[in-house]
Amino acid sequence: MSIIFAVPWAKLYKKSLFENIVYPINARVEDDLTTWKIYLLADKIAYMNKAIYTHRIFENSVSAQANKTAVFPLEAVEERISMLSQLGFDITREIGAYRYRLQICIDTALKDGDYLKYRNAKQKMAILKKYKKI
């Protein structure tokens, strides 16, 4: 559900929902930082539980070769968790998505030798574990 909440494709939107939406500049996954806000602004959402869109990732495609921490930024889910918890929503699934992204960040930072990013992500994971949020 967290992925559906973030991606803009395969959806129809009412034009007025975009009046106060600001897409971030210089963000690789601006949709992940924005689409969920459109859902929260909508008065009505219809959902069809039918596969009508297929997304293929080819071995040499940008999606397959992209840095996973760029594709799944922590900031996007951190902002969602903050807003949804303030609104009183159940954030259990978002915390699961956050844990998933933290692990990607940890693995990628370790592989890339980015010690600061690695330690920061490990610290956040330790906090989640301490408070049994994972």
Contact of 101 with 62, CB cutoff 8 Å: no
Note the pLDDT of residue 109. Answer: 93
Q: Please say if the pLDDT value at position 106 is more than 80.
A: yes
Q: Please say if the pLDDT value at position 120 is more than 60.
A: yes
Residues 6+ apart with CB under 8 A from 66: none
Q: Please say if the pLDDT value at position 130 is more than 90.
A: yes
Does residue 128 or residue 10 have the better pLDDT?
128
Mean pLDDT score, 106-123: 94
Q: What are phi and psi of 125, to 5 degrees?
A: -65, -40
Note the pLDDT of residue 63. Answer: 59
Note the pLDDT of residue 47. Answer: 80
Q: How far apart are CA 23 and CA 102, in angstroms?
A: 24
Note the pLDDT of residue 117. Answer: 93
Which string of DSSP letters, residue by residue, matches 59-113? TTSHHHHS-HHHHS-HHHHHHHHHHHHHTT---HHHHHHHHHHHHHHHHHHHHHT
Q: Please say if the pLDDT value at position 13 is more than 80.
A: yes
pLDDT band (50, 70, 90) for residue 12:
confident
Mean pLDDT score, 23-32: 82
Question: In this structure, how many other beta carbons lie within 10 angstroms of the beta carbon of residue 91?
Answer: 19
Q: Please say if the pLDDT value at position 58 is more than 90.
A: no
Q: What average pLDDT does the chain have? A: 84
